[in-house]
Structure 1
Amino acid sequence: MYGIGRKNLQEADGNKEKGVLVLEYTYQEFIEDLNMGHEIEFLLDGGRYSISYNNTGWHVTKFGNEEYSTYGNVNELLENAKFNDNSLQEIWHKIKIDSIF
């Protein structure tokens, strides 16, 4: 995973594998990373998603699905991207960050 130097890492309680670290990554840090241009991959309800950027805007894509949603800026993405009618903030507790680029 990239860009975790400033993040708070701690050893997972109750993890069966000794020494496994878990990333404490807040919704506010997520917003900050997007505003810096970082791209994020995450897991949600058994699906894998990507938030990426190119010259046409920010894109939310579900892996294995050709369709994607495009947003003009980070605020538009945060306000309008929906997952089962819920915003990213509403489901943040269910999201598992996979990669930060």
Structure 2
Amino acid sequence: MKKCIPKGEYQQRKGVRSQQVIPTDKIQGFRKFDKVEYRGTVFFIKGRMSTGYAKLMGIDGAEVKLKTMARLAQLKRVNARKSQIVMEIPIHLAPKGASILGRSG
């Protein structure tokens, strides 16, 4: 799956042309949308906190509900963010001779 991400972060304010640029600096070496591994599973960083915690999400953008918030020290970066975030999902093929419709023929 692929998903496009913006170059920067913008905050909407009151008015038509009111976008304000929010700084996207690194916090402990991580940026938003970096691909990371946490406890053996691959996620993307949705948000970072200066206190050392991070919110994680899947490729669909839905936040992952964890019992305890992920610490940045426990994350291992797999890939840095790019213009598109990509998650490889295995496709299981049907055995030879099987049909998608369930009929053999």
Give TM-score scaled by structure 1 length.
Answer: 0.30
Compare CA radii of gyration and give the structure with the larger one.
2
Give TM-score scaled by structure 2 length.
Answer: 0.29
